[in-house]
Amino acid sequence: MGFLNNYIYYIGAFGLILIGLYTILVKHNLIKVIVGLGILDTGVNLFLISVGYITKGTAPIFSRPGIDSEHMVDPVPQALVLTAIVIGVAVLALALSLAIRLYQHYGTLNLRKIREQRW
Amino acid sequence: MRRIISILLLVILAFGISLSLAKIPFGTPKTKVGRYYIDEGIEETGATNIVTSVVVNYRGFDTLGEVTVLFIAAIGLGAVLTGSGGEETRKKQPASLVLYTGCRLLFPLILVFGTYIFIHGHLTPGGGFQGGAIIASGFLLIYLGCRERRISQRASKLAESLGGLIFVVIGLLGLVFGSYFLLNFLPKGTANAIFSAGIIPIIYIAIGFKVGSELASIIDNLIEES
Amino acid sequence: MIFVFFLILLMLVGAVAASIFRDLISAVIAAALVSLAAAILFYFLQAPDVAMAEAAIGAALTTAIFIIAIRRTKRYEE
């Protein structure tokens, strides 16, 4: 129970990464692959924030003048993940616009049929 | 066949990563630079939100790169989707009166809330990106509720370009007044006041306008069907 | 503590459901559930800025962009 208590965040983030990778590798529909890419992104962000957590720490904001700054959580991974979330949504929007163009050109979104039609 | 190989690959990956994750203990301090930012953050920058001072002041160049990536994605989406609208125009029902009035009533309140979040970015949790996303959600509400309204393209492109230009000009002014790009050259002021922390509120206001109008124009390009 | 465990379980079940459903709109809504559970977990890890960004961008705008794109292509898989 102590093991589970400590590592439950790692197991959750890592499970999301594995499920996202499985969706990207196996599924045939292009929009399902893009959904898997979004889940992979969320898993990696969750993992980065859970690395920077310190036990019994508080958020790194000096809200009151006499706040105790000895037990604050690491602020550097939070800054990196803030950037990563915005870049994730930009990549998803561009991928979906390419999927719309592919559907207008080939008439289907099944990756096997698109690969057969090209040759 | 493909399914079996990919499951085998994922099992090998899981085994390898869990062996190395066991060496990272959960909940212990791991870096020293975070400790330095917490201890010296208020005297050097004047912002009480340490994450804001890391994003804008200590790592301001990375934020400039991220703003550039968002800009490229919005322009790429507009370039791929030009001239591809106008397939079958489905018959749209006009919105009912309750929906129309409710959306028009909620829209200025959402804009004020988003503006509050990115103006107080250096005092409370929040900042330019969160406030910009809330403003884009307000525009999405207008697209879904009142279905004939569109925002004007010229106004959104003007807001987006002005936001990016102000960010780069303030960085170059830091080069003029001091020694390096994005130097914090305005006075720091007292902590916990709105006009404190030098250039941080100005940069976050510019980023808030830019991200808000960019996400709204992404949604506008995707919906466009005529 | 039991609440965090329940949230992580909900997140993993939502991710498996997003991978299995054939109706694409149901898969997108399951992905929004994953994003919402991750936003609450960010709050429990003492990161309020990141929780606000994930809730506004990941749960609201990503779902809207997916549904608009699905409306312009097919709704059911293959």
Q: Which residue of C has its CA nearest to A76?
A: C47
Residue with the larger pLDDT of the pair B48 and C26: C26
CB < 8 Å from C in window 62-101 of B: none
Which domain CATH number covers A8?
1.10.287.3510
What is the pLDDT at residue C16?
Answer: 96
Domain assignment present for B52: yes
pLDDT above 70: residue B206: yes
Query: For chain C, first and last CA: distance in Å?
Result: 42
Candidate ranges A104-118, B16-30, B131-145; pick with highest mean pLDDT = B131-145
Say whether A102 sits in a helix, a strand or coil: helix
Count CB neighbours of C68 within 10 A: 19
What value does the mean pLDDT take over residues B33-58?
A: 87
pLDDT band, very low/low/confident/very high, at B91 (cuts 50, 70, 90): low
Cβ separation C11–A12 shorter than 8 A: yes
What is the pLDDT at residue B87?
Answer: 60
Print the domain residue range for B113: 27-223
Total number of domains in chain B: 1
| Cross-strand partners of A61 | B49
B222 touches chain C (CB under 8 A): yes
List Cβ<8 Å contacts ≥24 apart for B160-166.
B160/B71, B160/B74, B160/B209, B160/B210, B160/B213, B160/B214, B160/B217, B162/B206, B162/B209, B163/B206, B163/B207, B163/B208, B163/B209, B163/B210, B163/B211, B163/B213, B164/B67, B164/B71, B164/B206, B164/B210, B166/B202, B166/B203, B166/B206
pLDDT digits (tens, 9 = 90+) for C33-50: 999 999 999 999 999 999
What is the pLDDT at residue B23?
Answer: 84
State the nearest Cα–Cα gap between A58 and chain C, in angstroms.
6
Least confident among A25-29, B198-202, C16-20, C55-59: B198-202
> Which residue in the block uniquely carries the two structure tokens 């000009």?
B169
**Chain B residues whose beta carbon lies within 8 Å of the beta carbon of residue A79:** 51, 54-55, 59
Domain assignment present for A63: no
What is the pLDDT at residue A62?
Answer: 84
- For C78, which of A29, A35, A73 is closest by C-beta distance? A29
What is the pLDDT at residue A2?
Answer: 59
Say which residues have a Cβ less than 8 Å from residue C74's Cβ, sequence separation at least 6.
A103, A108, A109, C24
In sequence order, which ranges of chain B are alpha helices (DSSP H)?
A: 2-21, 33-45, 50-53, 60-80, 97-119, 128-145, 153-177, 200-223
With beta carbons less than 8 A apart as the criterion, state whether B37 and A75 touch. Answer: yes
The pair of structure tokens assigned to B138 is 């307000």
Give ipTM to 2 decimals: 0.93
pLDDT above 90: residue B188: no
Round the CA-based radius of gyration of chain A to a whole number and report it.
20
**Chain A residues whose beta carbon lies within 8 Å of the beta carbon of residue C12:** 12, 15-16, 19
Cβ separation A59–C73 shorter than 8 A: no
Domain assignment present for A62: no
Domain assignment present for A86: yes
At residue B66, what is the residue type? E
- Domain chopping of chain C, boundaries: 2-71
The pair of structure tokens assigned to B99 is 């929906």
At residue B46, what is the residue type? G
| Cross-strand partners of A54 | B27
State the nearest Cα–Cα gap between A106 and chain C, in angstroms.
11
Domain assignment present for B6: no
Half-sphere exposure at residue B86, Cβ-oriented, CA atoms within 13 angstroms:
4
What value does the mean pLDDT take over residues B27-50?
A: 85
Total number of domains in chain A: 1
State the nearest Cα–Cα gap between C64 and chain B, in angstroms.
8
Query: Which has the closest alpha carbon to B222: B100, B84, B93, B88?
Result: B84
B178 touches chain C (CB under 8 A): no
Percentage with pLDDT > 70 across chain B: 93
The pair of structure tokens assigned to B40 is 């010296």
With beta carbons less than 8 A apart as the criterion, state whether C35 and C58 touch. Answer: yes
In sequence order, which ranges of C1-78 are alpha helices (DSSP H)?
A: 2-20, 24-44, 48-53, 62-71
